[in-house]
Amino acid sequence: MFARYDRKSNCRSFIRSALMILAVGLILGLPGQATAATPSQEKPYFVVVLVDDLGWTDLGFMGSSYYQTPNIDRIAHEGLVFTNGYAAAAVCSPTRFALQTGRYPARSGITDWIRARFQRGTIGQNAKNPTGYEVLPGRKLACPQNALFMEHEEITVAELLKQAGYATGHIGKWHLGHTAHFPETQGYDVNIGGGNLGQPPSYFDPYRSESPIYEIPNLPPRQTGEYLTDREADEAVNFIRTHKDRPFYLQICHYCVHTPLQAKPEVVERYRQRPTSHHNNPVYAAMIESVDDAVGKIRKALEDCGLMGRTLLIFTSDNGGLIGSTDNRPLRSGKGYPYEGGIRVPWVAWWPGRIEPARCDIPISTIDLLPTLAELAGVPLPDNRPVDGVSLVPILLEKRSLAPRPLFWHFPHYRGDLEPFSIVRMGDWKLIHFYEQDRDELYNLAEDLSETHDLAAQMPKKVAELRALLTRHLSEVDAKLPKLELSTTPGSASNPQ
């Protein structure tokens, strides 16, 4: 479970755990289940760094010898690394919904990336999310139309923490709807760069495209040629310094390392001189280095403001690495796909003096972020809706495990050679159900991380067990499923964002 945990000394471990739990309760006033706000002077600060399309092995501490990430490696070595950390989806918008709400994306109808206005044509020109189905030429199944925005009725992590007096800030990519659904309409005091775009028109100031004409909202040009990730880092540092005297929740959602692949030329040139491995793209490597520089600036700002010991920083990605930009080996495939390369991502929790350095193999997901921060802040979860995630506080502060639970993914759409699918992971077992052919694939991830040996034909009882678990879950979250029905609205395929 924990790579540096002494399981043999059960008595000593129990005593240490008990003392730690007592200390946590005295210092933070944390109940077993959060029921009331902690006094403001005792509340922790929160920083979430979400990178776009960063693969599981795209960092030094995860095994890459080509990508150079000393600042991220440092927080990983000082913090808790979740080797079975997952994004809630294989594409970005659903994962971002899960981060904001602690809920499975299937509950919202956001099961694919959300199209910007210039990408929609005539779809969704009203104020309501679509509820119909679409048929693509040559495809067997009618698929549910993806939502166009996160509904205001959803309760975000920012809205939850504001109840406890937190300042809230969003910097970078949002991708959960248009102007009426930007971060400032969902509990964020500050929104810098958050809009409806799935990728930047350009990574260089003024961050604008002429054909089609679009630009990043809420990010006025500052210095011609300035790199976007550097700008995001500067805005994050400014937010930390401005709000250092009040507990805050800050999320830095980098547009990097999403396409278009653009980086600072001098950094690219350095990587052209480096020995390559299965990682060998110098532009992509330079983009990752800029993200690493940003993490270094954020860490220094926290240190300069005296917030190192009071801040929990979470570092993760919204989905796996994009094939063509990077190579996710030993994981199979990449972004958009149901295999581990599409959904398993880097996950680090860093809190100096509070979280002991270790590696943990307990499976966790983006849905767990909101309940974790809520418990640490002493804020009760909403009682008028299901929250699917669980608090990670027992793992982070007490080195305890979690009750066994399944994790789920749902993508009822077509894309290229990919047909609609749903996934369940329970323990070491992972089942992928493909809807078009009504077939299943079964893998034991402990023995076959690369998902090369499909065991479905050999283990029909395990398939039936996991299918029943998946079917029950899809019913509980009221997931929209593909169906054989052709009286639907025509649509068209598009590339993932």
CA-based nearest residue to 288, from 302, 301, 274, 300: 274
Amino acid, single-letter form, for residue 174: W
Rounded CA gap, 282 and 287, in Å? 9
8 Å CB contact between 176 and 93: yes
Q: Is 11 a catalytic residue?
A: no
CA-based nearest residue to 246, from 173, 319, 162: 162
Rounded CA gap, 396 and 374, in Å? 14
Could you tell me the two tokens for 171?
Answer: 């910097």
8 Å CB contact between 56 and 445: no
Region class of 53: left (phi > 0), else alpha (psi between -120 and 50), else beta: left
Radius of gyration, CA atoms only, the chain: 22
Angle (CA) 139-144-150 rounded to 5° is 140
Respond yes or no on whether the N-terminal peptide bond of residue 247 is cis (omega within 30° of 0): no
Query: Which residue of the set 175, 279, 413, 473 is catalytic?
Result: 175
DSSP category for residue 256 = T
Phi, psi of 97 (to 5 degrees): -60, -45
Rounded CA gap, 65 and 70, in Å? 12
Phi, psi of 253 (to 5 degrees): -105, 90
8 Å CB contact between 50 and 251: yes
Query: Which residue of the set 92, 143, 256, 360 is catalytic?
Result: 92
Residue owning tokens 């005296």: 306
Q: Which residues contact 88 (CB under 8 A, 6 or more apart)?
A: 94, 95, 97, 98, 99, 104, 105, 365, 366, 367, 409
Could you tell me the two tokens for 193?
Answer: 């760069």
The catalytic residue positions are 92, 175
